[in-house]
Amino acid sequence: MEDYIVSARKYRPSSFKSVVGQKSLTITLKNAILSGKTAHAYLFCGPRGVGKTSCARIFAKTINCLNLSADGEPCNACESCCSFNEQRSYNIHELDAASNNSVDDIRSLTEQVRIPPQLGKYKVYIIDEVHMLSQTAFNAFLKTLEEPPHYAIFVLATTEKQKILPTILSRCQIYDFARITIDDIVEHLQYVATCENITTESEALNIIAQKADGSMRDALSIFDQAVTFTGGNISYKAVIDNLNVLDYEYYFRLTDAILLGNVRSCLLMLNEILEKGFDGQNVITGLASHFRDLLVCKDEATLVLFEVGASLRERYKITAKQCSDKTLFSAIALANQCDLDYRQSRNKRLLLELTLIQLCQLADSPKATGEKKN
């Protein structure tokens, strides 16, 4: 039986063009390599799972490629590239600062820096989670980072740039990696699904992308979980069941009841949701996001901010027309305040019910929704 490889490793980018959602950064790095203007120290910072370490490895492979392409991509055929791909290259050294953060670990690294590369032009030292280094380790690293040998390049990666010493920051070129957009995540998941012969629904992939919160690694991990749960047929219903996500249908039904000022219907729906095992705070934060999505759907100019699947777009537009801006502003504020008060509340269910009652009261005036109540 063939060994199983998780998607996050199997589809890890191996060239700059395969990096998802960081186009401006990869273009800058490629141009630096093509023009021969590489710095001796880089700091890659950004949220988890957005490609910091992957870009560092691709950078190390590319600057040592013996047959670099015209567009700055590695050839993946020369001896240097093959050794990188087969993880036997002596020109790349990785240190996990989370578990190797002492002065002795840094001194061991600086001793290695003295040895020039045997194949290729550069030796690249990648220090992951560099903010975990101790104060004394940072100080021991300063001199080497400022004046390394001409063949040594340091790439530091961190999720918490604010914890890095200013003296380290001043010695590095800083690259800020952005969270990957939902559209980019969905597109890449669709590519992986095609490669793996997995059938998917666009709404299901959109839910996975939202749950990943801008992290491609998280998205691929959730995708693998969904594949296992569904047996290779990823549907919207299966994904919300597996990830314990509340169906959009409940939010639309709650909105309809709120617009009619129907308190009893809202309370019954809340009871139905809670009996299904959903956490009350997730319900109210989801409702706040739902009102926010209705707000951005009221104007074509703000539709670019709409992050829910395209198949629901028309339904959001129809519901949004029934709501005035003032109603949505007040609804978002009420839901957000409930979210803030939830943890301190001793009677959490009553807090949720009171918020729904207040939301229903927004519809007391015919001007609130632009329609008369039944």
Task: Find the domain containing 320 and state its range.
Answer: 248-369
Last residue in a domain, options 176, 204, 230: 176
Q: Do 171 and 132 lie in a common domain?
A: yes
Q: Do 133 and 267 lie in a common domain?
A: no
Q: Do 197 and 74 lie in a common domain?
A: no
Q: Do 162 and 41 lie in a common domain?
A: yes
* pLDDT tens digits for range 163-177: 888 888 888 889 999
As a whole number of angstroms, the distance between CA 122 and CA 64 comes to 6
Answer yes or no: is 2 within a domain.
Answer: no
Answer yes or no: is 349 within a domain.
Answer: yes
pLDDT value for 366: 47
pLDDT value for 132: 87
* Sheet hosting strand 123-128, strand order edge to edge: 92-96, 123-128, 152-158, 41-45, 173-176
Ranges of residues in the chain with a pLDDT under 70 are 1-2, 309-311, 364-374
Longest dimension (CA), the chain: 82
Query: Tokens 């198949």 belong to which residue?
Result: 311
Which CATH number does the domain housing residue 86 bear? 3.40.50.300
Answer yes or no: is 1 within a domain.
Answer: no
Q: Do 141 and 19 lie in a common domain?
A: yes
pTM for the full predicted model: 0.80
Answer yes or no: is 119 within a domain.
Answer: yes
Q: Do 21 and 149 lie in a common domain?
A: yes
The alpha-helical segments, DSSP class H, found in 98-230 are 103-113, 135-146, 166-169, 182-195, 202-212, 216-230
pLDDT value for 310: 67
Question: What is the token pair recorded at 246?
Answer: 């509340």
Total number of domains constituting the chain? 3
pLDDT value for 364: 60
Last residue in a domain, options 152, 176, 200: 176
Which CATH number does the domain housing residue 217 bear? 1.10.8.60
pLDDT value for 374: 40
Q: Do 121 and 153 lie in a common domain?
A: yes
* pLDDT tens digits for range 93-151: 888 888 877 888 888 888 888 888 877 788 888 988 888 888 888 888 888 888 888 88
Please answer whether residues 246 and 278 qualify as being in contact, where contact means their C-beta atoms are separated by less than 8 angstroms.
yes
Q: Do 158 and 197 lie in a common domain?
A: no
Answer yes or no: is 158 within a domain.
Answer: yes
Last residue in a domain, options 242, 274, 292: 242
The alpha-helical segments, DSSP class H, found in 278-324 are 280-296, 313-321
Q: Do 157 and 189 lie in a common domain?
A: no
Answer yes or no: is 374 within a domain.
Answer: no
Answer yes or no: is 256 within a domain.
Answer: yes
Q: Do 166 and 19 lie in a common domain?
A: yes
Which CATH number does the domain housing residue 338 bear? 1.20.272.10
pLDDT value for 371: 43
As a whole number of angstroms, the distance between CA 23 and CA 175 comes to 12
pLDDT value for 2: 59
Among residues 69, 77, 8, the alpha carbon closest in space to that of 33 is found at 69
Phi-psi map region of 84: left, alpha, beta (phi>0 left; psi -120 to 50 alpha): alpha
How remote is the C-alpha of 145 from its chain's centroid? 30
Q: Do 112 and 140 lie in a common domain?
A: yes
* pLDDT tens digits for range 7-16: 888 888 888 8
Q: Do 28 and 164 lie in a common domain?
A: yes
